[in-house]
Amino acid sequence: MISGRMSAAEFRANREADITERPSKYRNKKTTVDGIKFDSKRELMRAIYGIGVELIR
C-alpha cells in the first residue's frame, strides 16, 4: 500500500527549495556599503542620507 504522505525530512527539503526560489515580497535587492548590509536601496538611502521614502521616488 502506497501512502500519499511524506516524511518530515521530505517536507523540510521541499519547503526549503520553495523558499530559496521565491523572490522577495517587494522585489528588493540587498545592498552592501562599507560592510553594512541593507535589505533594499531605499533603506540604504534612508540610513545614509536621512531621506524620506516619498523623496526617493
Going residue by residue through the chain, which has 57 residues, state the pLDDT in tens, using 9 for 90 and above: 456 787 888 888 777 766 656 677 888 888 888 888 888 888 888 888 876 655 545
pTM of the model: 0.46
Cα separation, 18 vs 42, whole angstroms:
27
Cα separation, 16 vs 20, whole angstroms:
6
pLDDT of 35: 87
Question: Cell numbers 562599507 label which residue?
Answer: 34
Element spanning 32, H or E: strand 31-33
Cα separation, 41 vs 46, whole angstroms:
9
CB 31 within 8 A of CB 48: no
pLDDT of 53: 53
